[in-house]
Amino acid sequence: MRIATFNVNGIGARLPALLQWLNETKPDVVCLQELKAPQEKFPEAAINDAGYQAIWHGQKSWNGVAILARGQKPIETGRGLPGDADDIQSRYIEAIVDGILIGGLYLPNGNPAPGPKFDYKLKWFDRLHTHAAKLLDSGAPVILAGDFNVMPTELDVYKPERWVDDALFRPEVRAAYHKLLAQGWTDALRTMHPGEKIYTFWDYFRNAYGRDAGLRIDHLLLSPALAPALTAAEVDRDVRGRKKPSDHAPTWVELDLKKIS
């Protein structure tokens, strides 16, 4: 079973690239972020025609998350991260597919730091800690997949010294990510590629992709019940080099569910 995460940076602008990638790699589940489209503008028919059913939580202009499953409808278990009834940003959606609980998330960027956006990011991280702990307590196989907007370590950024004051790399944010991992989650990509420079994002500026000036900010975290099934984790890097690309590349894990059954 292959589960992927892909920040598409606009589902409208990215639909051809998304459909091409789905057709080529046929992941079983895909978490999408940054739909940048209201609920009614999600291209459901095109997704269905590609062999997928979807649930999504849109928002005008910004944010927006979705979960796609190949040949079946994800069974939704929640949308919106618990812990703040006043938070109306579409950044979390959760579903069950083939007995796996999937949390698709788009963690706030947080720039500029310090400031209210950075405070919102840290509060969102606190809420994620609480909800993630609850998911772990269930003992179920769980995956948290999405754009975390955090480079966990210096290995995950092409030039660490340039990013130390950025909201994606500040010590508080890295500490929050490591506090989350310490609950028992497995960072799948790093586990399968220890010590390796491996990025998931390259910005549009300064020929960042051509220079491999990238960041690792898209993550797939496995609960202890699911981690033994992990057999591969990769980045579909070439997708970033195509025409009209997202600034993120699809990132995925391969799970052998026989190993945990």
Partner DNA sequence: ATGCCAATCGTTGATTGA
Active site residue 87: no
From residue 124 to residue 153, what is the string marking binding to DNA with x (rule CB under 7 A)?
-----------------------x-x----
List, as one string, the DSSP characters of 91-120.
Answer: -EEEEEETTEEEEEEE-----SSSSHHHHH
Active site residue 248: yes
- Select 71 or 116, whichever has its Cβ closest to DNA: 116
A 10 A CB-CB count for 76 gives 14
Q: Residue 175 contacts by C-beta under 8 Å, 6 or more apart in sequence?
A: none
Q: Which of residues 174-203 bind DNA (CB under 7 A)?
A: 201, 203
Q: Does residue 215 interact with DNA by CB under 7 A?
A: yes
According to CB under 7 A, which one of 22, 101, 145, 217 is a site residue for DNA? Answer: 217
Q: Which of 28, 147, 156, 218 is catalytic?
A: 147
Tokens of 139: 């003992």
Beta bridge partners of 186: 222
234 is in an annotated binding site: no
Active site residue 52: no
28: three-class secondary structure by DSSP:
coil
According to CB under 7 A, which one of 20, 23, 38, 160 is a site residue for DNA? Answer: 38
Query: What phi, psi does 60 have (nearest 5°)?
Result: -60, 130
According to CB under 7 A, which one of 37, 143, 176, 239 is a site residue for DNA? Answer: 37
Query: What phi, psi does 55 have (nearest 5°)?
Result: -120, 145
Measured from the CB of residue 147, what is the shortest distance to DNA in angstroms?
Answer: 6
Catalytic residues: 106, 147, 248
Can you say which residues are annotated as belonging to the binding site? 7, 34, 147, 149, 247-248
